[in-house]
Amino acid sequence: MDKVKAVLIGVVGGAVGGLLGIGGAIILVPMMVYYLGISQHSAHATTLAIIIPGAIFSAVVYSGFGQLDLKLSLFFAIGGMVGAYIGSSLMPKVKPYMLKRIFAVLALVIAIRMGVSL
């Protein structure tokens, strides 16, 4: 694996994630698959580990700007952990091509929804 590419992909994913509050997966997964040749399943799993430090760092910065609702974050975290367990348990049962399609459809739906709400 090209370590320089991995670091650059991390920088792009982190910058976009920090700016837009998306965690960066929407950027990181396709870049890992297409530029690093990582399998779809491994890219999804790796992205989850990558997001943790970036999310913590971004949350601290946003908190400094007074934009973090810690109480609300805790409720989302509880639901998110339950959902993450369910999703990560289901992921190995999903074929790579279906995982790629589900990811693409979700990204498209979110993009359309955000674009329409302008």
Each of the 118 residues of the chain gets a pLDDT tens digit; together they read: 689 999 999 899 888 887 887 777 888 999 999 999 999 999 999 988 888 888 888 899 999 999 999 999 999 999 999 999 999 999 999 999 999 999 899 889 988 988 898 7
Q: Which amino acid, one-letter code, is at 67?
A: Q
Residue 24: the pLDDT is 78
The angle subtended at Cα 96 by Cα 79 and Cα 25, nearest 5°, is 45
Q: Rounded to the nearest 5 degrees, what angle is found at the Cα of 50, between the Cα atoms of 24 and 84?
A: 85
Residue 19 has what pLDDT? 83
pLDDT at position 1? 64
Distance of alpha carbon 39 from alpha carbon 29, whole angstroms? 10
Query: Phi-psi category of 37—alpha, beta or left, where left has phi over 0 and alpha has psi -120 to 50?
Result: left
* Chain centroid, CA 20 distance in Å: 11
Exposure class string for 24-40: b at 16+ Cβ within 10 A, else e: bbbbbbbbbbeeeebeb
Q: What is the DSSP letter of 65?
A: T
Model's pTM, two decimal places?
Answer: 0.76
pLDDT of residue 50: 85
pLDDT at residue 25 in the model:
84
Q: How far is CA 100 from the centre of its chain?
A: 14
Domain ranges of the chain: 3-116
